[in-house]
Amino acid sequence: MSRLSLTFACVLGLFVAACDRSAPEEAQENGASAPTSGEIDRSMAGELMPASNLRDLEGRILNLGAVQGTPVLLNLWATWCAPCVKEMPLLDELAGDYEGRMRVITASQDMGGEEKVAGFFAQNQFEHLGSWMDPDAELSFALGDTVLPTTVLYNALGQEVWRVRGDYDWSSEEARTAIDEALRFE
């Protein structure tokens, strides 16, 4: 087995540990994501944002390495992951509340084509989130031990401040305080 194949198999296993893909038509219930913490983790602070390319439903490309200059909250999610689906409206609201101060980028890890992502965005009519996709899971490889959802806050220099693995209440006072503390130094 090649090293790339082995790496891909390991990352795929981490995805499955977070959300069960056995019923892709419906989002899985939260019980499958028990191994994740849902807490702010600062152990990777200082790591650089991966320079991965994302593509949206209109075919536009976003190079994450080129978004420096403003803080970024990067969320990895999938349509088949119940905790991910639950977070999306909260992230949309967060993006609106922090518009101009922080950019919220949600990157779908769905590998089944853009139809599911397009349908999800059409159904939910998000006002502030772009329909970015990472169909080759490059971000999952680059971020390491990623489970879904995973959200990473980067400062304006593209350095990680903290991350959250698993379900998180982005409307909570804890979330807003952690973001405000990070943005205060920008």
Q: Using CA atoms, how far apart are residues 116 and 173, in angstroms rounded to an integer?
A: 32
Tens-binned pLDDT, residue by residue, of the chain (186 aa): 444 343 334 444 444 444 544 333 444 443 333 345 789 999 999 999 999 999 999 999 999 988 889 999 999 999 999 999 999 999 999 999 999 999 999 999 998 778 999 999 999 999 999 999 998 889 988 998 678 999 999 999 999 999 999 999 999 999 999 999 999 876
Per-residue pLDDT, 17:
43
The sheet that has 72-77: what strands, in order across it?
40-41, 160-165, 150-154, 72-77, 103-108, 132-133, 53-55, 61-63
Residue 77's nearest CA partner among 127, 147, 9, 12 is 147
Which phi and psi angles does 106 have, rounded to 5°?
Answer: -105, 125
Residue 102's nearest CA partner among 66, 65, 70 is 70
Count of C-beta atoms within a 10 Å radius of residue 156: 15
Length of the chain: 186
CATH superfamily of 3-20+36-184: Glutaredoxin (3.40.30.10)
- Straight-line distance from the first to the last Cα atom of the chain, in angstroms, rounded to the nearest whole number: 45
Per-residue pLDDT, 36:
54
Residue 77's nearest CA partner among 140, 125, 128 is 140
Long-range contacts: 11-17, Cβ < 8 Å, 24+? 11/137, 11/140, 11/141, 11/146, 14/140, 14/145, 14/146, 14/147, 15/78, 15/109, 15/137, 15/140, 15/146, 15/147, 15/148, 17/147
Tokens of 51: 């320079």
Q: Using CA atoms, how far apart are residues 142 and 97, in angstroms rounded to an integer?
A: 29
Per-residue pLDDT, 103:
97
Residues facing residue 53 across a β-bridge:
63
Which phi and psi angles does 119 have, rounded to 5°?
Answer: -65, -40
